[in-house]
Homo-oligomer: A and B are copies of this chain.
Amino acid sequence: MSIPSKIDFINTVARVSPYVHQTPVVTSRLLNEISGTQLYFKCENFQKMGAFKMRGAVNAILQLSDVQKQSGVVTHSSGNFAQAVSLAAKNLNIPAYIVMPSNAPKVKVDAVKSYGGKITISKPTIESREEEAAKIQEQTGATFLHPSNNMDVILGQGTAAFELLDKHPDLDVIATPVGGGGLLAGTAVAAHYFGNNCQIIAGEPFEADDAFRSLEAGIIQYNETANTVADGLRTHLGNHNFPIIQELVSQIIRVEEDEIIAAMRLLWERLKIIIEPSCAVPFAAILREKEQFKGKKIGIILSGGNVDLSNLPF
């Protein structure tokens, strides 16, 4: 049993809350009509640095010893976790070393720079990222923070769902995207302790459906390619979050690229908020499986809003 305890989760909420925004939850009558459900969107696009990843980064950094803090932290990330670690580290006045793949969106690279993160560019493969991060770790003594496969990060990400359930304790379903698995696992832990029979589902692009295949196979699977517009979802699960997902997540629904783009556009037009393509994936999943969710109260974690406006998919 690898599920963190309720007391660990509550301690995380207490630790993280002072350092993050308690983001709003928005609704739309028209989107309810279109989906045949009642939707509650948790707006982590309004979180500090523009994504839920601030929560996990804050929690992981706050758990370091004073000695560890002196040597700083290092991570690799396609974007949002890099910003989160940079900003959290800046606020605590410790160095942050960030490995970013060469295909990371420019808006995210610029943001990391603006938060004072020291950037190393890697090849756009997981292997190259990990290699560069290991080098830095060795040279500087910095503590490595994994963007999704770290229990403190997982617990931190779960605090968004905790806030959502605190406002809407009777949700039938909470849906998140799944990339590295940190948000999904954290959300599942929150709902396990604070939901009322709340089912946890995830949306995933067909183009990067490693998590779906992992659940089917019972062992972690990888993506050979990941040509999806949902740039936050190109990574794979890890040994800390996979067992939680296996135990607590009821299904992963895969969606096509055109479904993701249409869902993203609908959210922009109707909610008047800016969200990343990855955020649109769970909403696209609900629209794809309308019959299954008819009449249900569904929370959706809108994971982030860091979009390159010069490179929109519509």
A265, A273, A275: residue with the most chain B Cβ atoms closer than 10 Å: A273
Given B24, B268, B275, B309, which contacts A269 in the complex, CB threshold below 8 Å? B309
Chain B residues with CB below 8 A from A67, complex form: none
One complex includes copies of this chain to the number of 2
- Residue total for A at the interface (Cβ-Cβ under 8 A): 17
Query: With A and B bound together, what is the CA distance between A24 and B26 in angstroms?
Result: 11
Chain B residues with CB below 8 A from A45, complex form: 272
Judging by beta carbons under 8 Å apart, are B310 and A314 in contact? yes
* Residue A46 interfacial (CB < 8 Å): yes
Chain B residues with CB below 8 A from A275, complex form: 272
Chain B residues with CB below 8 A from A314, complex form: 309-310
The residues in A between 148 and 183 inclusive whose CB is less than 8 angstroms from any CB of B are none
Given B24, B107, B273, which contacts A274 in the complex, CB threshold below 8 Å? B273
Given B50, B269, B310, which contacts A272 in the complex, CB threshold below 8 Å? B50
Judging by beta carbons under 8 Å apart, are B272 and A272 in contact? no
* Residue A305 interfacial (CB < 8 Å): yes
Quick one: given A24-B24, A274-B274, are A269 and B107 in contact (CB under 8 Å)? yes
Looking at the assembled complex, report how far the CB atom of A34 sits from the nearest CB atom of chain B, in whole angstroms.
12
Contact with B along A234-276 (1 / 0, CB 8 A): 0000000000000000000000000000000100110011110
* Residue A217 interfacial (CB < 8 Å): no
* Residue A312 interfacial (CB < 8 Å): yes
Looking at the assembled complex, report how far the CB atom of A86 sits from the nearest CB atom of chain B, in whole angstroms.
14
Quick one: given A24-B24, A272-B274, A273-B274, are A265 and B46 in contact (CB under 8 Å)? no
Query: With A and B bound together, what is the CA distance between A275 and B24 in angstroms?
Result: 18
Looking at the assembled complex, report how far the CB atom of A10 sits from the nearest CB atom of chain B, in whole angstroms.
29
Query: With A and B bound together, what is the CA distance between A265 and B107 in angstroms?
Result: 12
The residues in A between 266 and 314 inclusive whose CB is less than 8 angstroms from any CB of B are 268-269, 272-275, 305, 309-310, 312, 314
A24, A265, A272, A314: residue with the most chain B Cβ atoms closer than 10 Å: A272
The residues in A between 35 and 71 inclusive whose CB is less than 8 angstroms from any CB of B are 45-46, 50
Looking at the assembled complex, report how far the CB atom of A119 sits from the nearest CB atom of chain B, in whole angstroms.
19
Chain B residues with CB below 8 A from A107, complex form: 269
Question: Residue on B with the closest CB to A50?
Answer: B272
Question: Residue on B with the closest CB to A48?
Answer: B29
Query: With A and B bound together, what is the CA distance between A312 and B269 in angstroms?
Result: 13
Q: Can you add 6 more A-B contacts, CB < 8 Å, to A50-B272, A268-B274, A274-B274?
A: A45-B272, A268-B309, A272-B275, A272-B305, A310-B314, A312-B312
Shortest beta-carbon contacts, A-B, top 5: A272-B305, A272-B274, A45-B272, A273-B273, A309-B314
- Subset of 20 A-B contacts with CB under 8 Å: A24-B24, A45-B272, A46-B272, A50-B272, A107-B269, A265-B309, A268-B274, A268-B309, A269-B309, A272-B273, A272-B274, A272-B275, A272-B305, A273-B273, A273-B274, A274-B274, A309-B312, A309-B314, A310-B314, A312-B312
